[in-house]
A and B are shown apart, each in its own frame.
Chain A
Amino acid sequence: MERADLRPHHIRDSVIRIAGNSQDGIQSAGALLARLAGRSAQDVMTYMTIPSTISGGPSIFQVRIGTGEVLSTGDEADFLVAFYQHSYRDHIGFLKQGGVLLYDSDNVQPDSDDKRFVHVGIPITGLTVEALGGTAKDKGKNVFILGLLAKIFDLDVEKLKGLIQEKFRGKDESIVNTALIAFQAGYAYPVGNVLTNLYRFEKSPDAGGSPQVTMDGNQALAYGLIAGGVRYGAAYPITPWSTIMEILRSELPKYGGLFVQCEDELGAVSMALGFSYAGHLAITGSSGPGISLKTEAIGWATMAEIPLIIVNVQRGGPSTGLPTNVEQSDLYQAVFGGHGDSPRVVLAPSTVENCFYIAIEAARIARKYSTPVFILSDASLATRIQAFDEPDLKNLMVQSKPDLTPRAADFKPYPLDRITSHAPPGTHMLGGVYPTVTGLEHDEMGHPTGSPALHSAMTAKRRSKLQQLAGEIPVPEVYGDPDGNVLVVGWGSTYGSIHEAVKVAQQCGESLSALHLWHLNPLPNGLEKIFERFKHVIVAELNDQGLYGYGQLATLLRARYCNPKIRSLTKTDGLTFRVKEILEGVLK
């Protein structure tokens, strides 16, 4: 009998890791939990690993739900759900002392002598099969677990059921019913008999404020591009970039635009440049190896001064490398990866929410400076689900049509005294002279030239517009004390772990502050003044320390500021920073 008197224990934060195989649907169960948290104005962050095998293989989904700000997915789990013996074996070390191990007693035999954890064995497979009848096999374990977690965490069952219905909307009604039966079976399991506590998240203080939206980083990036007025694009599939192109392929036609899947990466970047040349700022994207293939055409975009957004959802490299793991090792490629002097703009989003806003910023810069702009996201942001305040779309939406207003007789495609602003085809040229955009070095009218003076002047023109951009980038604010012992500098998806490390350090009385960079090339002006205020400046990034002992951003910063106190904290295990790793790395 279930203990009806079991009182919910109030908690502010919980890390739940679900470990199984990739075909168990734990991703979708985890995603539903995340959506529920977002809908309840709770802060939420998720983390998942998917094997890069074609089908099957161990996989995890981790949800961290909290009241207040959730910065990272958590160093340790409060709850571990283990579907198989290997799930138990590989992840029990991640469970914190006193944590709850929920295991499928049909498949897992835990070490019963291990008294560090609360062992809760439930015949998940058997109960799911029993609830659904024989034909479903054990498909539905994921939703069974969802029901169980809903009970343990006293989650809003009606909202969850609604989400399940939304998730399977448009599919066979029997699928929705099956899911609801599995959910109900999990929810009805008398878990109180084996667990001494139920839990309830404290109400979020800002509940009732602006509504939250919940999505993953690739979704946020895709919708940010749409908000930024991008209506055309072309790409080739590659993990973990592909979901952005899948979204845009379906969404852009709704806006009257178009996204084309091309024959290869070279065709994709070229077609995107065709869209941009035609007056529609376009996007192409890929992950590391695909960006290598696009590189020649990006050089053309720099030379011909054609705006373009290039998204790189980084993964572990080089070559095919670690296709489903995170790494920040394509920064050099983004900044330097081209022949000739070809300065590019490079931005990196820090959170799922920021993926949305950085896409709008990239579109703004590409248009204003008529130049290619890189967005360096990564595998962890791509699939991470976070809830964030709904953006003010009314004020953010950018409308963009090719500017075909006739150009005056003195129009020059490449003026030396101004930033280039092209006249797209279809523009009537009042002087009767029509412009040619070109990858050859050219004079102000676009005529090819080998003139030494012009090559110098045009190289400077292409460089100085980025120097002008540097002047308009806001200097990022220091998180934590404005001066002190250690400043951790970060970029990209490690934002949360680094900021949580600062919080933890402050609680322990350590002097640790953080500076996060969104604009990596050009860098914002004035960073040297911030560095002056700290004894140590340590750049934390997920790449190798290189031949000379410094990671990629650290090397750029050292080259820029010639400041020997800039040092590096790097790692290359294909996983994001744990808070502990940062604390140990920078405070030692």
Chain B
Amino acid sequence: MSATDSTITPLPEADKLTKKALTADHPTWCPGCGDFAVLAAFYKMLERRQLPHENIVTLAGIGCSSRFPYFVNTHGGHFIHGRAVPLASGVSLSRPDLHVFLFGGDGDAFSIGGNHLEHGSRKNINLTYVIMDNFVYGLTKKQTSPTSPLGFRSKTDPTGAIDQPVNPIKKLLAAGASFIARTHSTQVNHMIQMMERAMSHNGFSVVECLSECVEFFPGAFDSGNPRKGGDFILIEEKKWDGTPEDELRHDITDEIAAYKLANLPFPGMFGVFYESDRPSKNALEKKWIDATRAKLNEPSDLELLQQTFDRMK
């Protein structure tokens, strides 16, 4: 069974997953931080889905957003900087009964952990990764991040950033992530929707969530926030209804079309860019394990090792 085959066992009323049951330590984020809304959306989604409480795992690397696991009352782990993808992959690959959620920032995902994001995507590990992208290093107090725009003034680029920023969606597409979406922390319902679709996807599902750092990069995402005079433009997905307007809608299985959307100038569009149903590593490894064991007639561990040693006599 894969972690997203959500055969939900109904829980007794007392164990119902409520926001109260899911709340842990009070978040240590600065007042006004976009991450509060991401946390609220995560609670909401879990309340809606009613997964068995003990089967939810919340993991993170290092950064402001990576404090997430302390604020969620589920099994969780706070790992080292950049390596949370392989950690979460180990949990996912060895425990199909669990729902693995990973939270982190742009430094974790695109800088120190860039290689792991690449290979987690390529291997198509079954987990959901929410990248809370604030375009700045906040925990260490305003250094340039891999997504900081050109010209951004930080303590490490006092005259403005000169390195071309990473385009997260393009990077994920090239790496082979099988579900890629983008959302904005001021749009709570959209965040819930994206997280829920990501969770339901069987494979490496990533949601880039623009989440403002009010302390070190205030106003960074105003251009995507209608309340601040910006445009929150949604990707319209194809309905396959044969209508002429459907021609203009986005085919989420079309990688090239997804690249084109990802290339739009900031703030770009929001929604699902890409989804592919190629098999996850979890499924492929399981297939291999099952076939191997079937061929050997489901031996006991002792029989197996004894046979190996008999061959070495």
A503: Cβ under 8 A from any B Cβ = no
CA–CA, A512 to B76, complex, Å?
Answer: 55
CA–CA, A274 to B76, complex, Å?
Answer: 11
Task: Answer whether A234 and B80 are a contact pair too, CB < 8 Å, given A214-B312, A394-B302.
Answer: no
Chain-A contact segment, one of B37-45, B66-74, B236-244: B66-74
Instruction: Report which of A213, A262, A273, A277 forms a contact with B312, defined as CB distance below 8 A.
Output: A213
B55: Cβ under 8 A from any A Cβ = yes
Counting contact residues on chain A (CB < 8 A from B), the size range is 35 or more
Residue contact B309 to A267, C-beta cutoff 8 Å: no
Residue contact A223 to B77, C-beta cutoff 8 Å: no
Q: CB-defined interface of A40-84 with B at 8 Å, one 1/0 digit per residue?
A: 000000000000000000000000000000000000000000000
B140: Cβ under 8 A from any A Cβ = no
Residue contact B289 to A426, C-beta cutoff 8 Å: no
Residue contact B98 to A425, C-beta cutoff 8 Å: yes
- Which residues of B have CB within 8 Å of A219? 312
Whole-angstrom distance between the Cβ of B49 and the nearest chain A Cβ: 17
- Which residues of B have CB within 8 Å of A277? 77, 87, 90-91
B207: Cβ under 8 A from any A Cβ = no
* CB within 8 Å of A: which B32-81 residues: 53-55, 57, 69-70, 73-80
Residue contact A434 to B77, C-beta cutoff 8 Å: no
Instruction: Report which of A223, A253, A258, A264 forms a contact with B94, defined as CB distance below 8 A.
Output: A258
- Which residues of B have CB within 8 Å of A279? 94-95
Residue contact A426 to B80, C-beta cutoff 8 Å: no
Residue contact A215 to B312, C-beta cutoff 8 Å: yes
Residue contact A425 to B87, C-beta cutoff 8 Å: no
Q: CB-defined interface of B92-120 with A at 8 Å, one 1/0 digit per residue?
A: 11110110000000000000000110110
- Which residues of B have CB within 8 Å of A267? 83, 85-86, 115-116, 119
Whole-angstrom distance between the Cβ of A65 and the nearest chain B Cβ: 17
Whole-angstrom distance between the Cβ of A506 and the nearest chain B Cβ: 33
B1: Cβ under 8 A from any A Cβ = no
- Which residues of A have CB within 8 Å of B73? 432-434
Q: CB-defined interface of A182-224 with B at 8 Å, one 1/0 digit per residue?
A: 0000000000000000000000000000011111000100010
Whole-angstrom distance between the Cβ of B282 and the nearest chain A Cβ: 10
A455: Cβ under 8 A from any B Cβ = no
* CB within 8 Å of A: which B128-157 residues: none
CA–CA, A11 to B278, complex, Å?
Answer: 64
Whole-angstrom distance between the Cβ of B43 and the nearest chain A Cβ: 14
Residue contact A436 to B69, C-beta cutoff 8 Å: yes
- Which residues of B have CB within 8 Å of A402? 95
B198: Cβ under 8 A from any A Cβ = no
* CB within 8 Å of B: which A425-480 residues: 425-429, 432-440, 447-448
Residue contact B288 to A390, C-beta cutoff 8 Å: no
CA–CA, A227 to B301, complex, Å?
Answer: 9
B280: Cβ under 8 A from any A Cβ = no
**How many A-B pairs with Cβ below 8 Å?**
184
**Which secondary structure dominates chain A's binding surface?**
mixed
Task: Answer whether A391 and B91 are a contact pair too, CB < 8 Å, given A256-B289, A432-B21.
Answer: no
B77 (CB) vs chain A CBs: closest residue: A437
- Which residues of B have CB within 8 Å of A346? none
Residue contact A437 to B86, C-beta cutoff 8 Å: no
Residue contact B313 to A211, C-beta cutoff 8 Å: yes
A275: Cβ under 8 A from any B Cβ = yes
A255 (CB) vs chain B CBs: closest residue: B301
Residue contact B93 to A263, C-beta cutoff 8 Å: no
* CB within 8 Å of B: which A115-167 residues: 166
CA–CA, A272 to B78, complex, Å?
Answer: 15
Whole-angstrom distance between the Cβ of A173 and the nearest chain B Cβ: 20
Task: Answer whether A262 and B309 are a contact pair too, CB < 8 Å, given A254-B296, A254-B304, A274-B94.
Answer: no
B residues at A contact (CB < 8 Å): 21, 24-25, 53-55, 57, 69-70, 73-80, 82-95, 97-98, 115-116, 118-119, 285, 288-289, 292-293, 296, 299, 301-302, 304-306, 308-309, 311-313
A residues at B contact (CB < 8 Å): 35, 38-39, 166, 211-215, 219, 223, 226-227, 232, 234, 251, 253-258, 260, 262-264, 266-268, 270-280, 282, 296-297, 299-300, 304, 390-391, 393-394, 397, 399, 402, 423-429, 432-440, 447-448
Can you list 13 A-B pairs, Cβ within 8 angstroms, ordered by A? A215-B312, A267-B86, A267-B115, A270-B87, A271-B86, A274-B94, A277-B90, A300-B80, A425-B55, A426-B75, A427-B75, A436-B69, A437-B77
